[in-house]
Structure 1
Amino acid sequence: MNEREILSNYVYQIVSALVASGVEKVVISPGSRSTPLAYAFASTKELEMHRQVDERAAAFYALGLAKATAKPVVLLCTSGTAAANYYPAIVEAKYARVPLIILTADRPHELREVGAPQTINQVRLYGENVKWSAEFPIPDNAPQTLPFIERHTVRAVNIATTAPFGPVHLNIPFREPLMIDFKEELPKSSYIKSYTNELTPSKQAIAEFTHILERTTNGMIIIGELPLGTDTNHVWNFIREVKWPVMIESLSNLRTEVPEDCQVYAISTYDALMKNERFKQNVRPQTVIRFGAQPVSKFLMQFIVQANPQSYIIIDEDPMYRDSTHMSTHFIHALPGEWLSEIELQHSVAEIEYVQFWKMADLLASDVIEKYSDYADDEGAMVQSLLANFEEEADIFVSSSMPIRDIDTFLLSTNRSVQIFANRGANGIDGVTSTALGFSNGRKMRKTYLLIGDLAFLHDTNAFIASRYQNCDLTVIVMNNDGGGIFSYLPQSKVEAHYEDLFGTPTELTFEQVASMYNMEYEKANTKAELINTLATNKQASLKLIEVFTDREENVTQHRLLWTRINEVIEQWLDSL
């Protein structure tokens, strides 16, 4: 067998194992050393190939695909700093629990650490930011090689898609020549099937959990961003059984399509309510249960610390469960699944008055929030108007900093099918546009919008290169307040010295030319009325950029007035009791 045949068998064995393990999509960036695998992927009809020349953007694009489909996505790049450019998205995938299969082509061992071009130390390049890392052998004719790489490839997919989901890394060295013989059919896999366990609690854990539920008079549930693929019907069944107020974060996607019989438990204004000290004194819970990631609301998490509940139960699919408060008293290692629907309380002592108290406050706060855009024309009013005018079955991808906070404030409980997504693993503003583009290509049956600030948009304008290689359908709404709006709410804003230089960081840039460069339809808006008109315009291009010009100082003023109005209404209500 000649070298070309050996190399062909090697790369197609990897591809065959990926396909047999359920991989459907691959994102490729161009490069020489990755040629054998790139050819194998491109010639495999079972795979959907996506391309992006910028590796940093490519990795975030793959992240978006995986978030949209809840399935593993493969990334392939050449050797050297190309692999290093994957790092930010890999960090996000690790903390957001998104399954990525990272394949980095590498130089052979004899070219490492001797000054060869495009050669860096790629072995375990991503350290603890991947669930698993392995290096493959150089392609050869040894009988052990193909079975080894086949099972390691299967193992990689299994690890990436076992709770908690996450990225894995395979480093694959190749010697020249790099050409292969194309195969019309993948080699038959000698590996048949992987079976992994469903992650459910032990009988002892369920018994203790049920006992705590039955003896709790005042309990509350917090639901953050849930694991990919979660069946939320089981969560709603659990809520129906315990009948506790539920703090529902927008990223959980339980604020939308709320079942009618669960409306009384659904609380969406908790962040504003947590700014009122008297209210907090009245709702101190005996027990708190949290599903999913920690919520965006800092005030809610501070309340948990202040309340110091007798039981704070975290249900998480990772033994390294998330609890930055360090207040948890119980941890249940499980996914939110069918076992929740099977819980039955025999002797519940939950007080209906506690639920009613929470719900009345939520309704009062919601009423104030609903009237916000009647008088305000800042970013918050813009976001509220957008939420009211998005079509049914729209997906909103949201950047960190102010956009996600405005969504969390202004998205109230609703029966509409709008869903919210974001990169909240590491909470960065890098790669957001690329992730949204990948996400939109993974959810082609629904319309995707991206809500983003100007600095985050600038971080990732290379994202749109992807639109030159595959169809992309995305409407981008940039809130351009010429700088970092989130810092205006932090203590730094009270120190005038160096504030604009270090935190405000105005650029005086606008984005019409960016839209022109990528053949995007461009509109601009200065008021919410103009914004809604541009949103309603039938766009001719699949990519549309709406640039909304706002004022940072006005945003702060109006947001604080909103919180003051809510506080006043809650105070009046408490006085009347």
Structure 2
Amino acid sequence: MNEREILTNYVYKVVASLMQNGVQDIVISPGSRSTPLAYAFASTKNLNIYRQVDERSAAFFALGIAKAKGQPVVLLCTSGTAAANYYPAIVEAKYARVPLIVITADRPHELREVGAPQAINQINLYGEHVKWAAEFPIPDEAKQTLPYIERHVARGVSIAKTAPYGPVHFNVPFREPLLIEFSSELPNQTFKSAFVGDISPSKEAIQLLSSVISETEKGFVIIGELALGTDLQHMWSFVRKLQWPILVESLSNMRTNIPEDCQQYIISTYDALLKNQSFKNKVVPDTVIRFGAQPVSKFLSIFLTETMPKNFIVVDEDPMFRDSTAVSTHFIHSSLGHWLNDVQFNNSLESNYLNEWQKAEKIATKHIKEYVQYETDEGAVVRKLLENLPTQSDIFVSSSMPIRDIDTFLTPTEKDIQIFANRGANGIDGVMSTALGFSQGRPNREMYLLIGDLAFLHDVNALIATRYQQCNITVIVLNNDGGGIFSYLSQSSVEQYYEELFGTPTALQFKDVANMYDMEYIQIDSYNELNIFFDKENEKPLRLVEIFTDRQQNVTAHRKLWQQIHAELEQ
């Protein structure tokens, strides 16, 4: 075979192996060294091909698709710093447990570390932030090469979608020439399939959980952001059987679409409640059981470290279980599934303990629902947004204040609204790119992005992707001209350097950005104008709603809400 035939067989083997193992979505950033694989992907039927020329944005775009579908997504780029630009999204994928297949094209071995252009050290480029990394061989005629490729692709996909999910990295070197012969048929596969097993707890673990629950007089459950693909029906069955207070974070998506017989156990306002010392004194737990990640709430974490429950059971699909508060007493290695039905217990919870949580939840919920009647800050905007969103809507939420406002103002509802965010590393980078990718993975639902002005600026290149594939999303920018969250932190008490280092105002508005990308633009200067947005029919599939707010007003209004809740709790 000539060089082109060898290269053609090699890259189509990569494509065939990925498809054989269930991969359907490919995000490509154009570049020269990745040409052979880009051609192979683009010329193959039954693949979803997405393009984004900015590699940093492309990686978050792929992350969004993978979060939406719960399936591995391929990223492809050329060699050099293009591959380095993937790093922030790969870090997020590791800590958020999202499956990515990262393929970086590379220079051949003889062009590494000798001053060749676009050649950096790409071996283990992402270090421990990927679950596995493999260096592929140069395309050649050796009979071992294609079987190696076939099985390493299968290994990589299996590792990416084995709990806990995460990214893997293939580094693929190519020599010139880089052109291939286009093929309409993929090569036959000798490796047929890989089956990934479920992680279930041992009998001893189930017995321990059953015993602890049976002996508990004061206890509650924490449900944080759950693993991709978790069947919530198993969780709801457990909730209705347990009949404990269930502290539910917004990212668990168990505050919405709630079964009627489970509503009485859901506690959504715990962050506000746990700011009150007298209430905390009433609800000190013997036992806490946590499913999923630790929630956003700082005051929940403080409460746990102050009380140090006798039993704190963490259920996690990763043996490196998450315990940032260092209060866990037991760990159960398991995904969430049907085994929860095997937990058998006698419910000995004090009835008054559940009542204390339920009474406080009603008080806090009342004040949160009334908030929009007398406040006009960002919290009121978020509350009104949640009240007016149509059912079957998804909201992607930026880190910093937007996710905290969602967590505060999203009270239990029967409406089908789901909340998503990048809370692996909690950064504000790549938020818009992830939301755009997420919208591609769930095209049958209304998509909204709630984001601050600095996070929007940080990722404005995300909108380049809208020039290459159809996107349908409403971007809501809360523009308070700077970093709003710092107004709630200790830095705000030191006037010197505050605006320069933390407030960081830019005095920028985004109408011209909307015009650049042919977005429908709606400017809202006051809370009273919000009805313009909610009453207006969409003119274009891309919409940018810019809402101008005031940082100090936000702080004052939030603290007033907490004071009102506390005052009634003290009665």
The alignment's TM-score, normalised by the length of structure 2, stands at 0.99
> Is 1:377 matched up with 2:384?
no
1:486, CA displacement in angstroms? 0.2
- Aligned residue for 1:428? 427
- Aligned residue for 1:223? 223
CA contact (8 A) 1:386 1:532 kept: no
CA contact (8 A) 1:487 1:493 kept: yes
* Separation in structure 1 between the aligned mates of residue 535 and residue 500 of structure 2, nearest angstrom: 38
Give me the identity figure in percent.
Answer: 63
* Separation in structure 2 between the aligned mates of residue 333 and residue 528 of structure 1, nearest angstrom: 47
* Separation in structure 2 between the aligned mates of residue 301 and residue 244 of structure 1, nearest angstrom: 19
- Aligned residue for 2:461? 462
1:422-571 to structure 2, matched below 5 A, reads 422-571=421-570
CA contact (8 A) 2:27 2:75 kept: yes
- Aligned residue for 1:61? 61
- Aligned residue for 2:121? 121
- Aligned residue for 2:177? 177
1:527, CA displacement in angstroms? 2.3
Amino acid at match of 1:96: A
CA contact (8 A) 1:63 1:98 kept: yes
1:116, CA displacement in angstroms? 0.3
1:528, CA displacement in angstroms? 2.7
Amino acid at match of 1:518: Y
Amino acid at match of 1:556: V
* Separation in structure 1 between the aligned mates of residue 537 and residue 473 of structure 2, nearest angstrom: 13
Q: Could you say what secondary structure the match of 1:154 adopts?
A: helix
CA contact (8 A) 2:206 2:342 kept: no
Q: Could you say what secondary structure the match of 1:508 adopts?
A: coil
* Separation in structure 1 between the aligned mates of residue 150 and residue 364 of structure 2, nearest angstrom: 57
* Separation in structure 2 between the aligned mates of residue 445 and residue 25 of structure 1, nearest angstrom: 17
1:244, CA displacement in angstroms? 0.6
- Aligned residue for 1:103? 103
- Aligned residue for 2:80? 80
**Per-residue CA distance 1:374-399 (angstroms, 9 max, x = gap):** 00000000000000111111000000
Amino acid at match of 1:302: I
**Per-residue CA distance 1:146-175 (angstroms, 9 max, x = gap):** 000110001000000000000000000000
Q: Could you say what secondary structure the match of 2:133 adopts?
A: strand
1:535, CA displacement in angstroms? 3.2
CA contact (8 A) 1:19 1:46 kept: no
- Aligned residue for 1:234? 234
Name stretches of at least 5 consecutive residues in structure 1 with no aligned partner: 573-577
Amino acid at match of 1:422: A
Q: Could you say what secondary structure the match of 1:67 adopts?
A: helix
* Separation in structure 1 between the aligned mates of residue 115 and residue 32 of structure 2, nearest angstrom: 18
1:113-262 to structure 2, matched below 5 A, reads 113-262=113-262
Q: Could you say what secondary structure the match of 1:170 adopts?
A: strand
Q: Could you say what secondary structure the match of 2:570 adopts?
A: helix
- Aligned residue for 2:404? 405
- Aligned residue for 1:396? 395
1:115, CA displacement in angstroms? 0.4
Would you identify which runs of 4 or more consecutive aligned residues in structure 1 move more than 6 Å? none
* Separation in structure 2 between the aligned mates of residue 529 and residue 74 of structure 1, nearest angstrom: 45
* Separation in structure 1 between the aligned mates of residue 93 and residue 398 of structure 2, nearest angstrom: 16
1:217, CA displacement in angstroms? 1.1
* Separation in structure 2 between the aligned mates of residue 433 and residue 128 of structure 1, nearest angstrom: 26
Name stretches of at least 5 consecutive residues in structure 2 with no aligned partner: none
Q: Could you say what secondary structure the match of 2:212 adopts?
A: helix
* Separation in structure 2 between the aligned mates of residue 394 and residue 466 of structure 1, nearest angstrom: 22
The alignment's TM-score, normalised by the length of structure 1, stands at 0.98
CA contact (8 A) 1:235 1:341 kept: no
Q: Could you say what secondary structure the match of 1:377 adopts?
A: coil
What RMSD, in angstroms, separates the aligned Cα atoms of the two structures? 0.7
Q: Could you say what secondary structure the match of 1:371 adopts?
A: helix
**Per-residue CA distance 1:64-94 (angstroms, 9 max, x = gap):** 0000000100000000000000000000000
- Aligned residue for 1:575? none
* Separation in structure 2 between the aligned mates of residue 527 and residue 261 of structure 1, nearest angstrom: 40
1:224, CA displacement in angstroms? 0.3
- Aligned residue for 1:350? 349
* Separation in structure 2 between the aligned mates of residue 145 and residue 28 of structure 1, nearest angstrom: 25
Total equivalences in the alignment: 571
CA contact (8 A) 2:257 2:414 kept: yes
- Aligned residue for 2:331? 331
* Separation in structure 2 between the aligned mates of residue 242 and residue 76 of structure 1, nearest angstrom: 47
**Per-residue CA distance 1:160-214 (angstroms, 9 max, x = gap):** 0000000000000000000001110111111111122211101111111111111
